[in-house]
């Protein structure tokens, strides 16, 4: 019998168990789709009602994130990296005492800073004695895509880790790509948000201009959808803009955060970002007007208020 510290067995190369942290508008249906695909899911959320709902679908609720320390895969779907760092603090302390199994994967599916997620990965590697690695895999597609399992998932990390987590990602999304090393997924999401945020703002501006000029916004968007201005953003957000329906599907305040990541990345890359700069200022105004918790389409209300100021 050998003496010394017991080395944990390697994590299952094709794990079917996952811990899921953050069961909100996006996280709850994503976790539900993992369950449908045959995964065993243990979930934590700050509000217990979401945990009970997961249990009703066949998942298992836990009282703290630290209770997920032995899971081979841990998925985080919280608003931003500081929330993830706070939620994971106890978990990382537990790993410092007893490291997790080699090959443990921490998957950050929130929209976070590409720079910040690399720093977080260093913290995870240090706390886990190198046994856990991080992938960033932010998503696009909104709550409808989360429910339908048709999210676009943009991933950064090692190819080996990506292939191990691919079955889980494919249970939640229909377009899944590895785009480069860690941070590449978050940079891709920043680019996605640059397009979505500025396109939504342009549509909102067009809607307000048309409305105040006596034009039917629904009719305008219908005809635009048949021309070069057609886009997925127009298809999905256009009806909400035309109806002034600001029921949250994705809070507008997150766009301000995400466009700030574009500026951060542009500074690192040494490239100009005039559209992102304009977008950050506009969505800062959305937040300043108290509209940040409403849907992204609330940018139209912000523009309307600006026009009457």
> Catalytic residue numbers?
189
Task: Say if residues 54 and 23 touch (Cβ distance below 8 Å).
Answer: yes
**How far, in Å, CA of 243 to CA of 253, rounded?**
20
**How far, in Å, CA of 186 to CA of 155, rounded?**
8
Q: What are phi and psi of 111, to 5 degrees?
A: -85, 110
**How far, in Å, CA of 34 to CA of 16, rounded?**
9
**How far, in Å, CA of 108 to CA of 123, rounded?**
14
């Amino acid at each position: 019998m050998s003496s010394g510290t017991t080395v944990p067995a390697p994590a299952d190369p094709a794990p079917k168990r996952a811990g899921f942290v953050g069961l909100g508008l996006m996280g709850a249906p994503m976790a539900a789709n993992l369950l449908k695909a045959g995964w065993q899911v243990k979930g934590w959320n700050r509000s217990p009602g979401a945990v009970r709902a997961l249990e009703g679908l066949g998942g298992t609720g836990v009282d703290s994130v630290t209770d997920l320390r032995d899971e081979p895969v841990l998925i985080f779907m919280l608003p931003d990296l500081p929330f993830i760092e706070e939620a994971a603090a106890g978990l990382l302390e537990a790993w410092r005492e007893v490291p997790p199994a080699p090959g443990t994967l921490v998957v950050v599916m929130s929209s976070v800073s590409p720079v910040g997620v690399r720093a977080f990965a260093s913290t995870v590697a240090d706390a886990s004695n190198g046994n856990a690695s991080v992938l960033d895999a932010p998503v696009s597609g909104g709550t409808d895509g989360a429910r339908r399992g048709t999210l676009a998932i943009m991933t950064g990390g090692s190819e080996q880790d990506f292939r191990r987590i691919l079955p889980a990602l494919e249970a939640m999304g229909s377009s899944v790509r590895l785009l480069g090393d860690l941070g590449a997924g978050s940079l891709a999401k920043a680019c996605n948000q640059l397009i979505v945020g500025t396109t939504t703002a342009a549509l909102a501006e067009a809607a307000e201009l048309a409305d105040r000029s006596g034009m039917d916004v629904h009719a305008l968007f219908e005809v635009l959808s048949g021309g070069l201005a057609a886009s997925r953003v127009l298809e999905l957000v256009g009806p909400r803009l035309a109806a002034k329906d600001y029921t949250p599907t994705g809070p507008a305040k997150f766009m301000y955060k995400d466009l700030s990541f574009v500026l951060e990345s542009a500074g690192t890359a040494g490239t100009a970002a005039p559209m992102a700069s304009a977008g950050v200022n506009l969505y800062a105004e959305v937040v300043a007007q108290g509209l940040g918790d409403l849907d992204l389409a609330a940018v139209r209300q912000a523009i309307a208020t600006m026009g009457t100021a």
